[in-house]
Structure 1
Amino acid sequence: MDTLTVIVMLALFILLLGFIFSAGLMTPVIGKKNIFFVIFIGFIAGVIGGIFLISPVYDELPFIVRNIYMSTSDVNETITADVSAGKDILRFMDELSAQDGVEAVYSEGIFLKTDRFSESRKRIIEDKISLIDPNITSWQVHTNGTIILQVKKGHNPVRTLDTLSEWLMYTGGINTRYSAVHLVVTVRPDKVDSIVSYLQARDVVVTGIKGPAEEKAAAFKAALPDKSNIILFCGFLGMLTGIAGVFIDSIIAFIGKIRGREA
């Protein structure tokens, strides 16, 4: 939702309150006995306005706050993404590094999906994996063919993938069916959305965004009251607006008396 839409919805809600107030002003014409009807209409109209006008804006508040933080913060955000090894990963990393707002790109982990293997083969892989490539810092090996590796920051992931895939095939006849590289991208906060769009347009799975702006937006969202309470508040606001319209003459007279005493 853009800024203009937010302004239009808020303006429409204010106009709705103006309509409720006008209905209250009509009580001298329709009779004081209809005061409760005006109050009821004010509550219902306020609830409807809360559902259709305020709720959509309320849902967008965390994104609005996030965008404000993004535009004012000078601390970089971190995007994590999984890139299929079917791509030319090194070339892709170079192209990504050249994008406006990208401060750094490096590989952090590798995911492999292979043929299933036995428990004894699993133990062999776990025993030998650090010897296959000393740049592998930690690993998870599962007999269903799932292997998750953590590698040293900045290490060439393609070399590790090729070395491990060849070793699995030659020593155990295990085919690597799918593999992906987990990338970490450091981005200036005002360029996060454009880099996410860049990645998604290239069929790259964005797995997360971390940083001060994201944390503040999440904290703001967690602190917001439940939306149903906001809708009820709009209903009571509509009701109070109707009451104000009904008793506006008395309210003005009361304020006049107070000012007269102060003078």
Structure 2
Amino acid sequence: MNTMDVLGVTVMLALFILLLAFIFSTGLMTPIIGKKNLLFVVFIGFIAGTVGGAFLISPVYDEIPEIARGVYISTEGGTENVTADVSTATDIMKLTEELAAQEGVVDVHSEGIVIRTDRFSENRKRIIEEKVSIIDSNITSGKVYTNGTIILQVKKGYNPVKALENLAEWLMYTGGIKTRYSTVHLVVEVKPQNVDQVVSYLQAREIVVTGVKGPAEEKVAALKRSLPDKSNIVLFCGVLGMLTGLAGVFIDSIFGFVRGIYQRYRGV
């Protein structure tokens, strides 16, 4: 989180604590308003606690994954993988070099090419599957679908656009199949603390970031799955407000009970 986020969270928590103090002080007024109004104090405590939970604690609760992410990033070793789909109209090799020069980037490579062409027959599909590695020896594998989708994997370090050009030329020459568009699936291996910087760098160039994977992101995802529903948190705040009001009502009895235990323990 940035400084404003931290300040916002601090203010929200401080306001909620002040709200609880107000509820507690309402309970303290029972000698004046009479304990017959106990239900009123309980009601006020629950309502105020629920409102505080909804408007003060819920925004803080939403920030928990990001707070945890910041902690994980500062403590985790290893690297995170930022994945992006880049149009082959982009100079892929230049982009790769620019990304590799960014702070914290360990490696940049293409993981595959997605090509969309005209539809073709099942027989043509089989021919493409048989010939794809011959068309360009740097193509390591490929998946071909008759709806015109072809997914290729190329050797690490090889220019994927070159493989695309070779295949597109062969498709047009042998079957009159036109390549409509294509994208390269780029993987940027980066140190955890530099993930946001790399994501911002890609987005500033209008490149679609498809995901971030790695130890820190996996822990954040696991934390999100383990967090209770937000409505339960709001309900808990309502109950907490109610208990705070009751604590104010019975504060003398509570102190007397604690004092009695202490005196028995001390043998007084």
Does residue 153 of the first structure (1) align with residue 152 of the second (2)?
Answer: no
Task: Tell me the SS of whatever aligns to 1:106.
Answer: strand
TM-score using structure 1 length: 0.96
CA distance in 2, matches of 1:193, 1:27: 53
Give aligned-pair identity as a percent: 69
Which whole-Å CA distance do the structure 1 matches of 2:256 and 2:120 have between them? 88
Q: Which one of the candidate residues 143, 162, 172 is aligned to 1:169?
A: 172
Equivalent residue number for residue 207 of structure 1: 210
- 1:67 matches 2:37: no
Q: CA deviation at 1:214?
A: 0.6
Deviation, 1:235, is 1.0
1:86 corresponds in structure 2 to 89
Contact 1:165 1:176 in 2 (8 A): yes
Unaligned runs of 5+ in 2: none
Q: What letter is aligned with 2:198?
A: I
Q: CA deviation at 1:50?
A: 1.0
**Map of 1:121 onto structure 2:** 124
Q: Distance in 2 between matches of 1:179 and 1:78?
A: 22
Whichever residue aligns with residue 243 of structure 2, its letter is: L
In structure 2, what residue type is equivalent to 1:12? L
Runs of 4 or more off by more than 4 Å in structure 1?
A: none
- Using the TM superposition, give the Cα deviation of residue 170 of structure 1 relative to its aligned residue in structure 2, in angstroms: 1.0
5+ long unaligned stretches in structure 1? none
Counterpart CA distance in 1 for 2:95 and 2:265 is: 75
1:180 equivalent in alignment to 2:201: no
| Number of residue-to-residue matches in the alignment | 263
- Determine the C-alpha separation between the residues in 1 that align with 2:116 and 2:132: 16
Say what the alpha-carbon RMSD is for the aligned residues: 1.3
Whole-angstrom CA distance in 1 between matches of 2:121 and 2:236:
62
**2:258 & 2:120 partners in 1: Cα distance?**
85
- Given the two structures, how large is their TM-score scaled by the length of structure 2? 0.94
